[in-house]
């Protein structure tokens, strides 16, 4: 049990309150002038190479690659004798059910060509961003694991942390640039990703201590 459990509970509570408040606000105000201005600012500079770069950043959040990425990484951990870690990584897949439920509840439409340039056209509702949620949760948990698994070579751990951190910070600008999401969609996705990441890390540490 972490010594700073009360602080963690407080942070988690704040994240949940912020997410609920933002969700209620977005449900009542699906189109925001701030979101439009932010998207136009991000899309001010446009180029083919930048289109491809942003599409590449978003690649691991696209179906079916998002599912395959989790399963492949979980398998790598499993066959390298990190079975418990592989089970926890697999739990990330359940976030897909959470995001679909919230998207259908809020039912916010995607940005349209009337407001922004569309590099990527998507099917599902806009809020919150599933890409941002999955990146914060999946790559965030990988970063967390690399701080715990000291038996993995330091070079590998640093490489995984660096790549994961880059993707986490790049995914929100990528989704906005592509015209797939508004800024508040990505903010909601980040908040929900952190909310899901908290219990995943907590129960991992709790079970780890029990096993020890």
How far apart CA 151 and CA 77 sit, in angstroms, is 13
Q: What is the DSSP string of 47-88?
A: -HHHHHHHHHHTGGGSTTHHHHHHHHHHHHHHHTT-HHHHHH
| pLDDT for the residue 9 | 87
Output DSSP code: residue 94. G
Could you tell me the pLDDT band of residue 23, with boundaries at 50, 70 and 90?
Answer: very high
Please compute the mean of the pLDDT values over residues 56-81 and round it to a whole number.
Answer: 91
Residue 193, Cα to own-chain centre: how many angstroms?
5
pLDDT at 207: 66
Full-model pTM: 0.92
pLDDT at 7: 84
* Residues 6+ away with beta carbon under 8 Å from 200: 88, 91, 92, 137, 141
Span 28-41, average pLDDT:
95
Indicate if the pLDDT at residue 57 is higher than 90.
Answer: yes
pLDDT digits (tens, 9 = 90+) for 145-164: 999 999 999 999 999 999 99
Identify the band that residue 1 occupies on the pLDDT scale cut at 50, 70 and 90. Answer: very low
Q: What is the pLDDT of residue 149?
A: 93
Q: What is the pLDDT of residue 66?
A: 87
Give the residue from 195, 61, 48, 199 showing the smallest Cα distance to 119: 48
Task: Decide if pLDDT at 190 tops 70.
Answer: yes
Q: What is the mean pLDDT of the chain?
A: 92
pLDDT at 4: 75
Instruction: Give the whole-angstrom CA distance, residue 199 versus residue 138.
Output: 13
CA nearest 130: which of 197, 72, 181, 57?
181
| Tens-digit pLDDT profile for residues 97-143 | 999 999 999 999 999 999 999 998 877 899 999 999 999 999 999 99
Under the banding of pLDDT at 50, 70 and 90, the label for residue 62 is confident
């Amino acid at each position: 049990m972490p010594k700073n459990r009360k602080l963690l509970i407080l942070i988690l509570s704040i994240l949940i309150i912020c997410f609920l408040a933002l969700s209620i606000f977005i449900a009542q105000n699906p189109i925001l002038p701030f979101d439009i201005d932010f998207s136009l600012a991000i899309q001010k500079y446009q180029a083919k190479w930048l289109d491809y770069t942003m599409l590449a950043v978003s690649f691991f959040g696209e179906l079916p690659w998002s599912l395959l990425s989790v399963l492949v990484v979980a398998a790598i951990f499993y066959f390298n004798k990190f079975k418990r870690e592989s089970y926890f990584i697999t739990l990330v897949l359940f976030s897909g059910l959470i995001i679909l439920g919230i998207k259908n509840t809020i039912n916010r439409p995607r940005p349209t060509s009337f407001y922004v340039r569309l590099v990527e056209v998507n099917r599902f509702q806009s809020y919150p961003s599933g890409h941002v949620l999955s990146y914060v949760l999946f790559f965030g948990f990988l970063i967390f694991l690399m701080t715990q698994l000291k038996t993995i070579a330091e070079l590998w751990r640093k490489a995984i942390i660096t790549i994961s951190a880059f993707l986490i910070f790049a995914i929100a600008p990528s989704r906005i640039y592509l015209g797939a999401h508004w800024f508040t969609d990505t903010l909601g996705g980040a908040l929900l990703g952190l909310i899901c990441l908290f219990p995943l890390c907590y129960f991992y540490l709790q079970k780890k201590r029990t096993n020890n």
